């Protein structure tokens, strides 16, 4: 049976579509957004996760690892040794994970089949009521289109509402394979300039817009979700182009998603460097001003 690579399943979610939802986060993404809140989703394979704050410096991991992934160089006679992780050496043999007493080390990413996911989804079904259901997110769920199709199809057969969050930078074939089983798309629209789209996300704006228009021609419910990142896309031209899409296309709604720094620490946990480490969360006053500006362009 076809399996999907999943890194998290969040039950009773209220932020990933209408009502109470079971959010299934699939691992793997073709983009490399520098503001990503889920850096552990980038690679479509299981990997080691290290939470430094949870480490008790017992050094057990260094004793069992045969690949010298965990080093403890002495810093000072009155300080404890620093736990350094040599990410490129890790083969994910799990010996360090299994012996870690504090849970500082773990595996992120697991292959699951449709029935395994559905067992969790069915537990939440009594709470969905009229609006709730399942949401597929990521990463980019549609780089695993076959698994998504099977899971979404099963949900529809069991009367469960479906939602897919996508950045749209996927093949049209992937969209075509799942579109009939999706009630709502949360479509991430990141940048309005092709060069900046490539620079900050590695993505193809032309393909994103083509796929957005395709979903509109299919009569799908779409909410445009727009991350706003200070110093990157908080500019007049971007707001005007968001408004233009809202006016020209039959969208269900537009949501601005002001930058939040809560995901910054997660980059280090999987051996990556966050380029926006010093950027603060956008305040409520600034977020309100952006929303008012967008409304003025739409009406």
Q: Is the pLDDT of residue 77 over 60?
A: no
Q: Which CATH class is domain 48-108?
A: alpha beta
Q: What is the pLDDT of residues 17-57, one digit of tens each?
A: 999 999 999 999 999 999 999 999 999 999 999 999 999 99
Q: What is the DSSP string of the chain?
A: --EEEEEEEEEEESSSSSSSEEEEEE---S---TT-S-GGGSSSS-EEEE-GGG-----HHHHH-TT--EE-----TTSPPP-EE-GGG-----HHHHH-SSS-EEEE-EEEEHHHHHHHHHHHHHHHTTT-EEEEESS-GGGSHHHHHHHHHHHHHTT-EEEEEE-S-S-HHHHHHHGGG-SEEEEE---SSHHHHHHHH---HHHHHHHHHHHHHTT-EEEEEEEE-TTTT-SHHHHHHHHHHHHHS--SEEEEEE--GGGHHHHHHTT---TTTTPPPPPHHHHHHHHHHHHHHH-
Q: Is the pLDDT of residue 273 over 80?
A: yes
Q: What is the pLDDT of residues 100-140, one digit of tens each?
A: 999 999 999 999 999 999 999 999 999 999 899 999 999 99
In percent, how much of the chain has pLDDT > 70? 97
Mean predicted lDDT score pLDDT of the chain: 95
Q: What CATH number labels 3-44+109-298?
A: 3.20.20.70
Query: Does residue 163 or residue 79 have the better pLDDT?
Result: 163
pTM for the model stands at 0.94
Q: Where are the domains of the chain?
A: 3-44+109-298, 48-108
Q: What is the pLDDT of residues 246-267, one digit of tens each?
A: 999 999 999 999 999 989 999 9
């Amino acid at each position: 049976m076809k399996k999907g690579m999943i890194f998290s399943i969040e039950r009773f979610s209220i932020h990933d579509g209408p009502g109470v939802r079971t959010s299934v986060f699939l691992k793997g993404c073709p983009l490399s957004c520098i503001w990503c809140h889920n850096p552990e989703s980038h690679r479509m394979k299981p990997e080691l996760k290290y939470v430094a704050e949870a480490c008790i410096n017992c050094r057990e991991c260094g004793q069992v690892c045969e690949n010298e992934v965990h080093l403890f160089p002495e810093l000072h006679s009155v300080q404890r040794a620093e736990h350094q992780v040599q990410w490129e050496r890790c083969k994910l043999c799990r010996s360090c994970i299994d012996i870690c007493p504090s849970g500082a080390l773990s595996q992120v990413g697991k292959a699951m089949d449709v029935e395994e996911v559905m067992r969790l989804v069915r537990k939440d079904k009594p709470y969905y009521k009229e609006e709730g259901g399942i949401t597929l997110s990521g990463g980019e769920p549609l780089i695993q289109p076959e698994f998504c199709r099977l899971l979404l199809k099963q949900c529809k057969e069991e009367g469960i509402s479906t939602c897919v969050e996508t950045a749209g930078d996927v093949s049209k074939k992937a969209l075509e394979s799942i579109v009939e089983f999706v009630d709502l798309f949360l479509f991430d629209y990141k940048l309005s300039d092709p060069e900046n789209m490539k620079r900050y996300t590695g993505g193809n704006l032309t393909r994103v817009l083509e796929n957005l228009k395709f979903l509109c021609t299919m009569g799908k419910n779409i909410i445009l979700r727009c991350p706003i990142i200070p110093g990157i896309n908080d500019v007049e031209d971007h707001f005007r182009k968001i408004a233009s899409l809202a006016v020209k296309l039959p969208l269900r709604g537009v949501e601005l998603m002001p930058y939040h720094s809560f995901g910054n620490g997660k980059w280090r946990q999987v051996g990556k460097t966050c380029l926006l480490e010093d950027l603060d969360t956008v305040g409520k006053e600034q977020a309100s001003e952006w929303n008012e500006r967008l409304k003025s362009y739409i009406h």
